[in-house]
Structure 1
């Protein structure tokens, strides 16, 4: 009897799918069955035929659970998540899957960070920079550059072409804030941060690979950026086993009112931290991000927009953070912030990161 009901549900669900002409992609299926333990499901299915397979908790997969699963497969609705009832009908609702762990000043469900994918025509076009709004973006380096083999801090940029509108000619919308010119994109921020950390006695290896160009060369979509940066990170860890701290620098697509803070008459670009929840050890990375965030907020209240958790529902979900429990992703500023605002915030981050680094490594800032 139970087997008949089981196959009836399967058959009905398949008919329902055909009627609605639904197309279930791998990402949709992954979201729907994410919480299902495969071993338990197999044993529970077997227990419907032979009760010897009932698990140790005497809790086989019951008819209600089976109904929920196949209803979800047929309709893309998860009965345990009320948002799924309207997510597919309202574009952009999946954006709210981002989890706020620490809410900074002005952070709520209406100001969540989000990833904006530039159009291919923008990614293939080289935007001109505004020379008068640029300046040397690297502070004087008073130390000898360490060998990569001696470095234990790795700075890189998955979305290396993310730039800022005040630095680009004829660019007015967030999706146009793109350039491979390192003086005007996040790579320039990485160079500035690297020099600051080196001056503080830390040993840093800065990777400046043009990941966007690599994507174009391979014919890959922009969404595959993390696949390329993952190759870069894994190669670095193989070649330089001392690497422990990983900093992936991005910028947000939000506008200036959300990404700017005035402190004592000076304007700063806000920053925030993203932690990938799909990383098995994400709680360790989260603890490190929270530690940095707390120190930043203690010294400069309002600079941080907070700490956020993301899954594959609204981002990459791992962000290369499985390589180390000291791997972080920071978003510095937004598309409207200028170089002075960005550099001031990098100064703050470098100061706090250095303090935390020496605290964790039993030393002191030189």
Structure 2
């Protein structure tokens, strides 16, 4: 009979078991640490509106993703004179890959928070995004707000004014879309205004109206006299013609603010809004009216035989209560879609960095309107303002009929 003898290396097995236990403990520690990190990050995201630390945002557009040096390098490829002024090229493998990742995935390789923002609810306000879309919404046509060059604010603006087209000279015939019939204008002078209109960038103007001044560049489409405040005036007049008292504020910040800084425009206009709210307690709806900076084909729609300036509703997600402002904007957007599809380009939420508060924390019924662009005419802007006036007046009248507080929206 043969015996089979088996030997067992007990010490080796013991070492293996100890190694497995050590790896298990290490895995458990890493897992717990990761969970704690995600939990802490979520809490930090929920409390971020109380902090003043700089935040990052995912860049969705190609232009927004490129730095100045990137553009300079692109120009240097065509202009040899610039090549000697650029020491290092941004077209390195590292920069190129970083740009592609940011543009296609919306993730900043140098900032892990941009990856977490898409997964953690508390950090969603870090990312600009389309909140409500419409018939005219295009995936890449987001509102653009460019800082004008220093020479855009010309000293001679107030001395060489041109006469703007009078609001009454353009009586656009609205298509039959069930628009609210105008009611006789009431004596609104003795009534407290319920609608407030102002302009943080009050000099934003329109190239068709600046031909007599020889201005042809959209970068220079700014004027002290013929500007977006005329659109606000038109909106105010139409709202009042429908029986709703309104108030417009039109200070020229570049000339009235000492050491004017364009980057602080919303700080200047915040004072305007606070003063108006303190003096007029019944103000309910507040509109900051701008014009966008995009090309004409992205700011204009033809309906019937007329061209209309399109409008984007912009919500500042730096405001802790931005969801309420978004809901308010969506109601106007929906009514505009029903009345005239193609005018509204949707509701866009700007990320919580930079200026993205837009004074909207002062009222849940406050919204920024980007109407048209530098290539639109005042006539096209007025047509859209008339449609907005009908919707605003209708919403306010409905609130009054429902015995709701003045300015509230149901």
TM-score, L = length of structure 1: 0.70
Measured after TM superposition, the shift of residue 30 of structure 1 is 1.7
Alignment partners' CA distance in 2, 1:246 and 1:126: 32
Query: Structure 1 residues 96-105 or 293-302, which shifts more?
Result: 96-105
Map of 1:1-366 to 2, 5 A cutoff? 29-31=53-55, 77-82=110-115, 97-127=127-157, 131=163, 134-137=164-167, 142-147=185-190, 150-168=192-210, 169-181=213-225, 184-215=226-257, 218-313=258-353, 315-362=354-401
Contact map agreement 1:126 1:180 (CA 8 A) in 2: no
SS of alignment partner, residue 117 of structure 1: coil
Measured after TM superposition, the shift of residue 106 of structure 1 is 4.5
SS of alignment partner, residue 232 of structure 1: helix
SS of alignment partner, residue 81 of structure 1: helix
Structure 1 gap segments, 5+ residues each: 1-26, 34-74, 85-95
Structure 2 gap segments, 5+ residues each: 1-50, 58-107, 118-125, 172-183, 404-410
> How many pairs align?
278
Measured after TM superposition, the shift of residue 110 of structure 1 is 2.2
1:305-345 per-position Cα deviation (integer Å, ceiling 9, x unaligned): 111001343x5111111111111111111111112211111
Measured after TM superposition, the shift of residue 99 of structure 1 is 1.0
Distance 1:32 1:254, change over 3 A: closer
Number of the residue aligned with 1:87: none
Alignment partners' CA distance in 2, 1:129 and 1:270: 27
TM-score, L = length of structure 2: 0.62
1:175-231 per-position Cα deviation (integer Å, ceiling 9, x unaligned): 1110010xx21111111111101111101111111122234xx21310100011001
Measured after TM superposition, the shift of residue 105 of structure 1 is 3.6
Distance 1:126 1:253, change over 3 A: farther
Contact map agreement 2:188 2:244 (CA 8 A) in 1: no
